[in-house]
Structure 1
Amino acid sequence: MGPGGIATIIAAASLFVIAVAVAYAVIRVGRFIDEAKVSLKAFTEDTTPLLTESTRTLELINSPLASFAKITKNVEEVTTKVTDATTGFMDKNGPAVKVAGALISAAQMSKGRKSKKKSD
């Protein structure tokens, strides 16, 4: 066996070592992928009910908020109508409002006098 034969044996041995190293790396990567798959499946199974429950909770919270928004809108409309009616009445019946105010003041003064007479 000459120098070429020894070189062939060394090359074959080194290719064998490289092949074993590559095979070991492929097996390790395959196991890693399997573990990642199992972990992802467990994560998905645990997260799905949590997301479903969160969605349901948000739906339960949004229902009263929608009702509250409708109530607020109705109160706003009523307030606007009362303001418009009051403004219109004040603009059209300014002297009547002044007379009504004077009558109310007179009635309050009258009540004050009756209270003083009773306490004397």
Structure 2
Amino acid sequence: MVTGPGGVATIIAACSLLVIAIAISYAVIRIGRLVDEAKASLKTLTDEAAPLIHESTRTVELVNSPLESFARITKNVEDVTTKVADATTGFMDKSGPAVKVAGALISAAGMSKSRSKKKKKAE
């Protein structure tokens, strides 16, 4: 049997260590379950994200194809516009007097139209 105050203190210390050991064991088991759940969640997330990323990549590829065609068409229109502008500028530079004559003829035609309209109104 336990005799004296030292024996009682030893029993109390042993019981306290037992309670602490049980509490630590419980905490370790709970943390282990938490880690297992986190691992399962991460695996599920990874399994679901991989097809989503694949579909997103495929969608981007499908969108890029028409955009590339549009870029080629835009480039061709830009080239044609540049050529027309260069040709017009060249014609204007080389045919300055011809353009002036054409402008005078257009003005004369406009004046004859306005004269014929005035004659019709006067009648």
Please give the range of the TM-score, normalised by the shorter of the 2 chains. Answer: 0.7 to 0.9
Q: Which amino acid aligns with 1:80?
A: T
TM-score, normalising length from structure 2? 0.80
Query: Which residue of 1 is the match for residue 60 of structure 2?
Result: 58
Which 5+ residue runs of structure 2 have no aligned equivalent? Answer: 117-123
Query: Which residue of 2 is the match for residue 96 of structure 1?
Result: 98
Q: Which amino acid aligns with 1:48?
A: A
Q: Is 1:15 paired with 2:17? A: yes
How many aligned positions are there?
Answer: 109
RMSD between aligned alpha carbons?
2.0
Identity of paired residues, percent? 71
User: How far is 1:97 from its partner?
Assistant: 2.5
User: How far is 1:51 from its partner?
Assistant: 0.9
SS in 1 for 2:13: helix
Which 5+ residue runs of structure 1 have no aligned equivalent? Answer: 114-120
Query: Which residue of 2 is the match for residue 30 of structure 1?
Result: 32
Query: Which residue of 1 is the match for residue 6 of structure 2?
Result: 4
Q: Which amino acid aligns with 2:99?
A: V
User: How far is 1:95 from its partner?
Assistant: 1.4
Q: How is 1:58-97 mapped onto 2 (pairs within 5 angstroms)?
A: 58-97=60-99
